[in-house]
Amino acid sequence: MSRKFTRKTLPRELAACNQWPTPDISQLLKDEQLRFAKYKEMIEAYLGGAKVAERLSAYGIAYADLLRQLNRCVAHDKSGHLIGWHALLPYQRVKTYERMAPLRQREICSKGGYTGALGKLFALNPDIQAKLDKYLLTGKRDGAAPESRVTPAAAHSYFLALCGDHGICSPSWPFSVDSRGKTSLWRYTSRFWDEHYDEIAVAQYGQKAKAKSNTGTGRPSRLQANLPFDVVELDEHSVHFIGCIGVPTCKGIKWVPLRRLSIIVLADRHSRAILSYGVIIRQEPTDQDILSVVARALSPWQAREMAVPGFELKTATGMPSALISELAHCGFNLLLVDNHLSHLAEAVLTRLIDMAGCAVNYGQTGHFERRPHIEGIFHRLEELGFVRLPSTTGTDSQDERRRDAEDAATKHCITLDAMLDLIEALIADYNARPGAGNFSSSPLDQLRSDLGDSDLGFMPPWVPPRLAHEPALDTTIETGRVGGNRTKGVRPHIYLDRVRYTNHVLSSRWDLLGKTVVKHIREDNIQSFIAYTDKGECLGEVHALGNWGLEPHSRAVRREINKMLDSGAITEIRGESPVTTLLTLLGRKVAAKALKGKPKISRDAQVLAEEERRGNTTVSELDTADTTAARAPLPREASEEAKRRALTPMHTFKAIN
């Protein structure tokens, strides 16, 4: 303490002892409690202006000791907080220990007599402390590139090097002791990192720890959800288990593992209910995946028809829009998303805002803690089901449940249908499961309670019905030009991804040549789409011409085919859809690899599985049994066996359900 206060010189704001922080003395010994009470009583009387000479004499307390305790109480700790009555606790320090005695040279390896030696060394050589502190904060040494992470051992080594650079050597401390000051420096390093946690969190513990540390600070979020649908959160998550698809080969069905599926979840912050979700088998979602999930939340939920026999949804489980009629067509006020590229798409910023009636909040990059509830939902879904499967990948590389997930997936035939059934069942069950966030009520029960509470004043935020012919939210809107040539007799048509489309209406509209048209595209299947003139006149559903119109296919597959056609990897076959050509080729590649040894995750298998999820193909029915140029049909027995195994429910799924 730089100044000794009396009641006359003590600042008024410090003299308000009734506002000083007060400790708990219930755990102290009786003598310690009496000592605390005596000093507290005397300080209060002294600051109140009373004469305390007689009372000090009665308690056996010297006036100088009273002032010493008063000044300890009005001192501040390193963080700048007033110590207050805590200074009266036994063995309580109010300032850092400072060694007053000089550092004398002692015999090498001598013991004792070095208390406070590190602090004294820093006081005599402030440049050493400054360089060491900079290294602990940034990982940078003089003129060197920053280290990815500073360890206590590396800090000690650098400290000794700094001491040598400043002429400190044996027999001076720290070279005069066996440990060379290791214990003292490690304590200093640990204390330094604790005091500068926010600055070193990313380098020392990673971005996830830094983001997590932003929570639990005692400061409430400014984005408070007071009613259902006030704030909703949307995020993607890769599930922690692996499934497989069955590919027919000349030696029967071979099961090939798939990359982890990703689920996109839309959840209400107030009730913690999942409002909608989507599943993709690609690595990254697109803006249309995001819009599709939101679109399904704005209308009554259509539950998935379970494909695995015996695996059914529990009663009274599901989505709020399906089970609570008042919430069948609700929008929301604020949508929280991260800065993923799919969220930054123009369609998300325009059409989603218009259709759902909400504002979109992106927040800072790398701050997943802004959406804590949806992160908690992902954790619960994992613990309720995903990590209980034999093909789980675990929550991290150190998880004991993490074994050979690919081998387990193929061994137990965890099919795509089984995975989709499980995700549907777990999400439906989550909405009906009581949780601590709703005071032991389920999200569905919480929503019903909010609807029935007249004092709460909750009115479902219904969105107006979509106008006739207004495109759905999950419909892609693009513009193009009508092609054709009167001189050559080429009838009017439209192109989409290098494929010509037309119908009997458009083919007769020679007046539209060169004019702009608007295309309403459903990207899950682009065999056809609806076209309009720039004035809004409907031209009807136009269809892909030639072989492209023979098989349903997604836009992603169309683009994949175009790339392979350009590179010469595939060629068009007369009378056969390019889609069939590609899927058969991919199936044969997967089958050939499966026959060579242990099946591995491949991009080809992912493309096949994604098209099967969209309903555009069935992998088990592809002509992939013969991996040579000959295309022998799949034996009937193998095909039936494939279907039987694909629909066989696993006891694991039954247990989870």
pLDDT tens-digit readout, 606-629: 899 999 999 888 888 887 765 443
Q: Is the dihedral of CA 413, 414, 416, 420 positive or negative?
A: positive
Residues 6+ apart with CB under 8 A from 362: 337, 338, 339, 343, 344
Whether 161 has a pLDDT exceeding 70, the answer reads yes
* 173 or 397: which leads in pLDDT: 173
Position 51 pLDDT exceeds 70: yes
Identify whether residues 491 and 439 lie together within a single domain.
Answer: no
For residues 252 and 362, membership in a common domain is answered with: yes
Lowest mean pLDDT among 64-68, 286-290, 444-448: 286-290
Note the pLDDT of residue 107.
60
User: 425-436 burial, b for 16+ CB within 10 Å, e for fewer?
Assistant: bbbbbbbbeebe
247, 549, 568 from 410: Cα distances, Å: 11, 35, 33
Range in 198-212, 250-264, 401-415, 576-590 with the lowest mean pLDDT: 198-212
* pLDDT classification of 529: cutoffs 50, 70, 90: very high
pLDDT at 557: 92
Q: Supply the pTM of this predicted model.
A: 0.75
**Is 224 contained in some domain?**
no
352: domain CATH number?
Answer: 3.30.420.10
Question: Whole domain around residue 503: which residue ranges?
Answer: 476-549
Distance of alpha carbon 653 from alpha carbon 650, whole angstroms: 6
pLDDT-derived band at 569 (thresholds 50, 70, 90) equals confident
Measured distance CA(394)–CA(417) in Å, rounded: 22
Overall average pLDDT of the 280-308 stretch? 89
* Pair (276, 422) in one structural domain: yes
324 and 415 both lie in a single domain: yes
pLDDT at 35 over 90: yes
Residue 631 counted as domain residue? no
Q: What is the pLDDT of residue 636?
A: 37
Among residues 549, 579, 598, the one where a domain terminates is: 549
Nearest to 529 by CA among 516, 517, 520, 518: 520
- Single residue among 549, 578, 602 that ends a domain in this structure: 549
User: By percentage, how much of the chain surpasses pLDDT 90?
Assistant: 45
- Residue appearing with tokens 């060579």: 596
The residue among 65 and 399 whose pLDDT is bigger is 65
> Does one domain contain both 438 and 488?
no
pLDDT reading at 130 higher than 80: yes
- How far is it, in rounded angstroms, from Cα 400 to Cα 386? 15
Domain closes at, from 518, 549, 580: 549
Residues 182-214 pLDDT 10s: 999 999 999 899 888 888 887 888 777 776 766
pLDDT at 633 over 50: no
Which H or E element spans position 255?
A: strand 252-257
Whether residue 22 is contained in a domain is answered as yes
Q: Who wins on pLDDT, 443 or 367?
A: 443
Amino acid letter at 457?
G
pLDDT of res. 625: 62
Position 630 pLDDT exceeds 50: no
Query: Within this chain, do residues 247 and 388 fall inside the same structural domain, yes or no?
Result: yes
Please indicate, yes or no, whether residues 495 and 539 belong to a single structural domain of this protein. Answer: yes
pLDDT of res. 436:
82
What is the average pLDDT across 98-113? 68
Instruction: Give the contacts of 129 (CB within 8 A, at least 6 positions apart).
Output: 122
Has residue 108 got a pLDDT over 80?
no
Residue 403 backbone dihedrals phi, psi, to 5 degrees: -125, -145
Q: How many domains does the chain have?
A: 4
Least confident window among 320-334, 513-527, 560-574: 560-574
Q: What confidence category does residue 527 fall into, taking pLDDT thresholds of 50, 70 and 90?
A: very high
Say what the pLDDT of residue 3 is: 63
| Pairing of β 262-268 and β 274-280 | antiparallel
pLDDT-wise least confident of 473-482, 498-507, 639-648: 639-648
Q: What element of type H or E holds 422?
A: helix 416-431
Same domain assignment for residues 62 and 205: no
3-state secondary structure of 550: coil
What span, in angstroms and rounded, lies between the C-alpha atoms of 236 and 430? 17
Query: Which of these ranges, 144-148, 379-383, 447-451, has the smallest mean pLDDT?
Result: 144-148
Residues 49 and 122 reside in one and the same domain: no
Do 193 and 254 share a domain, yes or no? no
Element (H, E) at 532: strand 528-533
Residue 3 inside a domain? The answer is: no
Mean pLDDT of the chain: 85
One domain for residues 130 and 262:
no
Is 649 within the bounds of a domain? no
389 lies in some domain: yes
Asked, for residue 541, whether it belongs to a domain, the answer is: yes
Q: How confident is the model at residue 369 (pLDDT cuts 50, 70, 90)?
A: low
Position with higher pLDDT, 490 vs 108: 490
Query: Does residue 457 sit within a domain?
Result: no
If asked whether residues 281 and 422 sit together in one domain, one would say yes
Which residue type occupies 236? Answer: E
Write out the two tokens for 299: 């209308």
| C-beta separation of 353 from 359 below 8 A | yes
pLDDT confidence of residue 217: 66
Instruction: Between 80 and 128, name the one with better pLDDT.
Output: 128
Overall average pLDDT of the 109-128 stretch: 82
pLDDT tens digits, 589-611: 888 888 887 778 888 888 999 99
